[in-house]
Amino acid sequence: MSSAPVTILRAFLDVQKSRPRPQRRIRGKHSARIRLFTLETGSCEGCAMEMMALKGSAFPLEGSGFQFVHHPEDADWLLVTGSVTRSSASALAAAWDAMPAGRSLIAVGDCAYNGGRWGANYATLGGIHALSRVYKTIPGCPPSPSAILQALGDLVEESSTGSHASSASRRRRQ
Ligand code: SF4
């Protein structure tokens, strides 16, 4: 019998598979910003700290077409840091469920992608790679704020050129 967190994330996986494709957004002078919600799901919090740094004035986040929001209901993209502990699984599912259609899931850091150095064990589920279709992965332990910003910009470019599906497939095969 599956544990409650695993059951929740299996449902999460099912939703991911059937979700609509993200709406294409092209950044430009008059285009809307892409709204980001971050969720730390259990780790050393190194990636979460880099995300906090990215929110600081040293990085041109808003000028690059992004905006952090405080509630998943207002977000376009969900940025996950951490290896997804069993106790955080329900928070992850709740955040995802609260987001409007067109949402996307992005693993920030190695732990969020595949569990990183923690892997899967009695306390963690091993990242979201094995649990759901990851739209985008930003590798690193941790990725720097500038690397995260660059990767987010690349994701927009991929979306605008329609190359997102092929690159996501490539990542899934790795
Ligand atoms: S990827 Fe590295 S820095 Fe990020 S949460 Fe995991 S161990 Fe910490």
**pTM of the entire predicted model:** 0.79
Binning pLDDT at 50, 70 and 90, where does residue 25 land?
very low
- Distance in angstroms (rounded) separating the CA atoms of residues 5 and 151: 29
- Tell me, in angstroms, the distance from the centre of ligand 1 to residue 60's CA: 24
pLDDT given for residue 14 in this prediction: 55
Helices first, then strands: H and E counts in the chain: 6, 5
* Domains, the chain, with CATH or none: 4-18+34-173 (3.40.50.12280)
- Tell me, in angstroms, the distance from the centre of ligand 1 to residue 110's CA: 6
pLDDT tens for 61-88 read 999 999 999 999 999 999 999 999 999 9
The pick from 110, 117, 125, 137 for probing ligand 1's pocket by mutation, whose C-beta has the most ligand atoms within 8 angstroms, reads 110
**Which residue's alpha carbon is at the smallest distance from atom 6 of ligand 1?**
111
- Distance in angstroms (rounded) separating the CA atoms of residues 94 and 91: 5
Inform me whether the pLDDT recorded for 133 exceeds 80.
no
- Distance in angstroms (rounded) separating the CA atoms of residues 34 and 27: 9
**Which residue's alpha carbon is at the smallest distance from atom 1 of ligand 1?**
141
- Tell me, in angstroms, the distance from the centre of ligand 1 to residue 51's CA: 12
CB hemisphere CA count around 104 (13 angstroms): 23
- Which residue reads 């077409």 in tokens? 65
Inform me whether the pLDDT recorded for 15 exceeds 80.
no
- Tell me, in angstroms, the distance from the centre of ligand 1 to residue 73's CA: 26
Q: By C-alpha distance, which of 2, 172, 5 is closest to 84?
A: 5
Mean pLDDT value across the chain: 82
Written as one string, the DSSP assignment of 67-90 is EE-SSGGG-SEEEEES--BGGGHH
- Tell me, in angstroms, the distance from the centre of ligand 1 to residue 111's CA: 6
4-8, 10-14, 93-97, 125-129, range with the lowest pLDDT: 10-14
**Which residue's alpha carbon is at the smallest distance from atom 2 of ligand 1?**
141
- Distance in angstroms (rounded) separating the CA atoms of residues 134 and 122: 23
Tokens of 32: 């809307």
- Distance in angstroms (rounded) separating the CA atoms of residues 25 and 7: 33
Residues 6+ apart with CB under 8 A from 83: 41, 42, 43, 111, 112, 115, 116, 118, 119, 124, 125, 126, 127
Ligand 1: residues whose CB is within 6 Å? 43-44, 46-47, 81-82, 109-111, 116-117, 141-142
